[in-house]
Each structure stands twice: as structure tokens, then as C-alpha cells.
Amino acid sequence: MPFKKRVPETLPSVEQVESELKNINYKKKFRRTLLSTVSILIVVAAIAVLMSTLFFPVVQVVGKSMEPTLNEGDILVLVKSDKVTYGDLCCVSWQNKSLLKRVIGLSGDMIEIDGDGNVFINGALLDEPYVEEKMLGKCEIEFPYKVPENKVFILGDQRETSVDSRSSAIGCVGTDQIVGRVLFKVWSKK
């Protein structure tokens, strides 16, 4: 018995073949584009993490010690630097916590806070429009107070409740404890 050659009953048309080739090429192009996009996103994410870790840390405000300037839940971008000056908002590391406070005094400054909460730096009254209610608050240091070398004197804007350089637990913070200055607010709940 001779072998019969099997011939498909119907051959695809030229249009069908061209259509299938287009589908195959589209799938290849889609895979390349998808892999390229995913690769780019991974590189961008890695660069963002690296930048945030090395140069621009991102922190979230916890607590009310800096209200009304900063509110709980605000997300801030810092510039990593220990170079701060009067009035700067900065993040300091204290006992594995990050504290956001305002720089009031620098090394060698004489700080005085009277019973009404007025702050004097080197004898000059400090203008503090960011403080809603001036008060001495909980204070465990004696005035006049001289800021030690390589330290900064920090205060929260909510003087009644803020734990800051007036507390013997925190005191003046070393420049090595400064994580960075607040650069800008990314997100605000209010």
C-alpha cells in the first residue's frame, strides 16, 4: 500500500500569513518595550533610593512640636548637611529617633529665655513669628546658657510641649547629630 501524501485541506491565504507575521512581530516589539520600560524603572528607583539615602533624606513629621510650621504627617525632603544657621529647620538624630526642630543658637552664643518665653541671643531679642504662643515651657537648664563648641541650641515651635535643648535629656546637639536641613515640604496633610 503506497503512502499517501497528506495535504491540508485548506492552505492559509497570503493575508492570513501576513496577519500572523504582524502579530508575531508585535508581540516581540511589545516584549522588548516592556523589558526596556521595567529596566528603566528599576534604574530610576535605584537612583532615587541612593539619592535619598546619601544626599536628600526624606522624613515624615511625627508629633506636634513644630506646629504650625510643620504638621503631623507632613513629608519633608532634607539636604544632608551639618551646616546650619539661625532659624533653619533641621532633623537631628537623638537616641535612634529623628527630631525636627529649629536652630536657635550656634556655638558660643549666649541664650536667655525669660519667664514670658522671649528668647534672647547674645542679648538681642529673637523675632519669632513662627511661635504662636511664647512661653518658657519645661526648662531644666539655667540661663544665661552658653552653647558649647560644635553644638547647636534647638527649640520646637510649640514651646509648651516641645522636648528640645531646654531639656537636660537632649540638651544642645552636636553637629555630628544633624541629619540635615529641611529643604522643602513634599506633602502636607493640611
- Residue (of 78, 103, 98) closest to 185 by Cα position: 78
Choose, from 101, 151, 162, 165, the residue flagged as catalytic. 101
Cell 504650625, residue located: 68
| Strands in the chain per DSSP E | 58-60, 75-79, 89-94, 97-105, 110-113, 119-121, 124-125, 145-146, 151-155, 173-174, 178-187
Q: Is 165 a catalytic residue?
A: no
Helix (H, G, I), strand (E, B) or coil at 164: coil
Choose, from 13, 28, 36, 65, the residue flagged as catalytic. 65
DSSP alpha helix (H) spans, the chain: 14-54
Q: Is 101 a catalytic residue?
A: yes
CA 173, 178, 182, 187 torsion: positive or negative? negative
User: Please, are residues 74 and 189 in contact by the beta-carbon 8 Å criterion?
Assistant: yes
- The identity of residue 78, as a single letter, is L
User: Please, are residues 67 and 156 in contact by the beta-carbon 8 Å criterion?
Assistant: no
Cite the active site residues: 65, 101
